[in-house]
Amino acid sequence: MPARKKWPLFIVANRLPVVRGKGKGEGTWKRSPGGLVSALTPIVQRAGGAWAGWTGTTGPAPDPFDYDGIAHLPVPISRTQLASFYDGFCNGTIWPLYHGAIREPEYHRRWWQPYVTVNRRFAEVTAESAAQDATVWVHDYQLQLVPALLREMRPDLRIGFFLHIPFPPEELFGRLPWRRQILEGLLGADVIGFQTQGDVGNFLRVARRYADARVDGGQLQIHGHTVNVDSFPVSTDFDHYSQMASDPKVVKRAVQLHHQVGQGRKIILGVDRLDYTKGIDVRLRAFHELLSRRPEAVRECVLVQLAVPSRWRVSEYRELRSQVEELVGQINGEFSEVGLTPVQYMHRELPFNELIALYRSAEVMMVTPLADGMNLVAKEYVATRFDNSGVLILSEFAGAAEELKSALQVNPHDVDGLAETIDMALSLPEKEATRRMSRMRDVLSEHTVYDWADSFIEALDV
Ligand code: ADP
Ligand code: G6P
């Protein structure tokens, strides 16, 4: 049993911030994919905190270990749980349902019990390790039962829960056969945080309807327990991104990338996990439309799409990969000119410095999810534009759209509208681009990831 130590912050999330490298990186740790890890890592490092989570490898969990200023408390997940809990209930039921059912969610009773079992295991590891009266912050859709399970095991703890993805409206959430159990799990927390006010409204409505909670403003009363519900939009380490971007080595690399990839053309960049929520396919269709209307645009711009491998055992993700790669092939086949390729596609992760250099090299950033809790890529791009250059095209359906009002906002389902917006971004007058970018930078510099975490912990500590 791990020792109970008084860490200033105790995080519980499905993934630990690091995973074991494969191939050349065998035996070393590397950063886990996704926005949750990007947001929380600097927070836990600053606090010198602990993080309970899964290593990304099945089988028995390694002993607790310290790495990069964080105490890692591994939680085991077996091979069968990987299939039923992670690929199944988390990413085959909850993920598509909460993202507006843009893929058909599957409801299987054989996936539900493993979800309960794995949530119980996370609660047990936390109950064994957290100090008396500690503050514990549970994260995301994989662990919605942990708050109530933990409260039962350790009534002395202050428990917060934050959902990084959207919370669906009543008509979708109501489809879930285990809706009452999920709500009761969440309502074990003292504070429940969402990305947007829209998510808060959705949650309050279903808590009233399916869990018989009494709602009074942003407060819920259930079985004599009070739960505070509010929105806390997640953000980035703005100064760090801004400073990294102006590092001479990164500046040099960005120029080099622009020269090699751009070949005199403007770079339009997409950076996403290869996920069907991200709208990568629609973005490619819009680019195809643009080139069909103006084939000479191949000499003006290049689309660089970076797609991070994700959840490849789930069939919808494999199908998306084929679809995206087929579209890339089709565009390049139709519109390439000798020595000039319209789409440059990479299916891999990149080291942090290289990603920043890529952000710096791009005149236009395309973030076009069909649904997204927040989207940190959009905020990271803005943070790296220290000279107020660059244009952000942003989906109305990303949580980030509530704050980044000066982006060129689009309906990502509208292929024609998106094609026109890309054209507009390419020819936006410099003065206008600077005005928009500088406004977005003002917004983000006033609400960094540290402000996000501080405001949540403050709400939890009262
Ligand atoms: P999600 O959490 O759904 O993946 P976000 O946009 O919120 O979406 O977060 C994605 C995170 O992954 C960002 O912090 C981004 O920097 C990181 N990331 C994206 N692409 C890469 C890449 N190719 N290599 C390394 N990190 C990446
Ligand atoms: C999103 C989710 C996270 C998840 C990440 C990566 O950011 O909100 O909870 O960790 O995607 O997905 P993965 O399935 O690889 O953990």
The enclosing domain of 136 has a CATH number of 3.40.50.2000
Indicate if 243 and 366 belong to the same structural domain: yes
Residue 386 per-residue DSSP state:
T
Residue 15 shares a structural domain with residue 124: yes
Residue 129 lies in a domain: yes
Residue 17, number of CB atoms within 10 A of its CB: 22
Same domain? For 168 and 79 the reply is: yes
Domain that holds residue 403: 238-446
135 CB within 6 A, ligand 1 = no
Same domain, 88 and 214: yes
Q: Which of 81, 85, 146, 164 to mutate to test the pocket of ligand 2 (most atoms within 8 A of CB)?
A: 164
Fill in the DSSP letter of residue 92. Answer: I
Q: H or E segment at 180?
A: helix 179-186
List, for residues 350-372, the tens digit of each pLDDT value. Answer: 999 999 999 999 999 999 999 99
Same domain, 159 and 106: yes
The residues, any chain, with a CB within 8 Å of residue 207's CB and separated by 6 or more, are 183, 187, 213, 215, 220, 222, 229
Max Cα distance, the chain (Å): 71
Please indicate, yes or no, whether residues 225 and 366 belong to a single structural domain of this protein: no
* Helix 376-384 / helix 430-445 crossing angle, nearest 10 deg: 110
Token pair of 374 as six digits: 């927040």
List of residues 6+ apart from 5 with CB closer than 8 A: 50, 71, 129, 131
**Gap from CA of 430 to ligand 2 centroid (Å):** 36
pLDDT tens string 260-291:
999 999 999 999 999 999 999 999 999 999 99
Count: domains in the chain:
2
27 and 149 belong to one structural domain: yes
Does one domain contain both 326 and 180?
Answer: no
Sign of CA dihedral 353, 354, 355, 357: positive
The pairing of strands 343-346 and 364-367 is unpaired
Q: Which ligand neighbours the alpha carbon of 163 most closely?
A: 2
Catalytic residues: 164, 372
CA-38 nearest atom, ligand 1: 14
pLDDT tens-digit profile of 430-459? 999 999 999 999 999 999 999 999 999 999
Clarify whether residues 153 and 23 are in a common domain: yes
Asked if residue 297 and residue 344 are part of one domain, the reply reads yes
Q: Which of 140, 144, 278 to mutate to test the pocket of ligand 2 (most atoms within 8 A of CB)?
A: 140
Let me know if residue 353 belongs to a domain: yes
Q: What is the pLDDT of residues 336-354, one digit of tens each?
A: 999 999 999 999 999 999 9
Clarify whether residues 219 and 258 are in a common domain. no
164 CA closest ligand 1 atom index: 2
Ligand 2 atom closest to the CA of 164, numbered from 1: 8
* Whole-number Å distance between alpha carbons of 122 and 195: 23
Residue 3 predicted with pLDDT over 70: no
Residue 1 lies in a domain: no
pLDDT score, position 462: 81
Atom of ligand 1 nearest to the CA of 378: 6
Q: Which H or E run contains 258?
A: none
Q: Do both 225 and 306 map to the same domain?
A: no
15 CA distance to ligand 2 middle (Å) = 8
Q: Edge-to-edge strands of the sheet including 225-231? A: 65-67, 70-74, 50-54, 10-15, 135-139, 158-162, 191-194, 225-231, 219-222, 214-216
Q: Whose CA is nearest to atom 21 of ligand 1?
A: 349
Model pTM?
A: 0.97
Q: 53 - beta bridge partners?
A: 74
Q: Can you tell me the distance from the alpha carbon of 124 to that of 122, in angstroms, rounded to the nearest whole number?
A: 5
